[in-house]
Chains A and B, each alone.
Chain A
Amino acid sequence: MTEWIAAPLLLAGSLLMLLAALGALRMPDLLMRMHATTKAGALGSGLIMLAAAVFFGSAEVWARVLAIIAFIMLTAPVAAHMIGRAGYFVGVPLWGRILRDDLKGRYHTDNHSLESPPEFSERRQHEERRGQ
């Protein structure tokens, strides 16, 4: 019985991994490649781990698998954030057809701090005034 649940999970997981690899190869710039690798990569390895848990079925395997999945889901976005940020500082070019770039010029290269768009601070002040 468990075979019939584990097999589709395994196949879906590996196909998602293939999708992540294809995305990493075919997408035109760094940020879009990260879209493919973080989402499809995290879900793909998660599904394969889930297949292993269903296949073995014992509590110790389930505990391990849930820990691995939680860990992957927590770390994949953090790694993407770190690499994307590093890409900005290194000056990796973005795809030519990008529609807008709100981050442009907002990083201070000397102390690595990041400004918020000026209209946001006005918005916050407006809300605070209304709240009083």
Chain B
Amino acid sequence: MLEIVIWLSFAILSLSLLLSFVRLLRGPSLPDRVVALELMASLTVGFIGVHAIASQRFAFLDVAMVLALTAFLAAVGFARFLEKRGIHADD
């Protein structure tokens, strides 16, 4: 039962990563891409959680915690950068 659900979750999460990658490529503006990147980070956090269950090693949860932390810092950094930079033609 749990085995099937784990593989199903891996499949669903991979599909979600693919979909958010399409949004990352399409943009259209830089903030849209930042949102897509942030979503990919939380998808990866979910991925690590599923992998921790699949491999029965909970040490992976520490990786998830650090990833969530860095993803948040990256989003804040990007947002500040965008705000400082203002409107540019290359968006």
Contacts and interface: CB of A to CB of B under 8 A. Distances in A.
| A and B assemble together | yes
Interface of A: 3-4, 6-7, 10-11, 13-15, 17-18, 20-22, 24-25, 30, 33-34, 37, 41-42, 44-45, 48-49, 51-52, 55-56, 58, 60-61, 64-65, 67-68, 71-72, 75-76, 78-79, 82-83, 85-87, 89-92, 109, 112
Contacts, number: 181
A18 B65 contact: no
Interface of B: 1-2, 5-6, 8-9, 12-13, 15-17, 19-20, 22-23, 29-32, 34-36, 38-39, 42-43, 45-46, 49-50, 52-53, 58, 61-62, 64-65, 68-69, 72, 75-76, 78-80, 82-83, 85-87, 91
Contact of B32 (A22, A75, A79, A92): A92
B78 to A, nearest CB: 7
B46 A45 contact: yes
A72 B65 CA distance: 9
A55 B78 CA distance: 36
B88 to A, nearest CB: 8
9 contacts: A17-B12, A21-B39, A24-B23, A37-B38, A48-B46, A78-B76, A82-B80, A83-B35, A85-B79
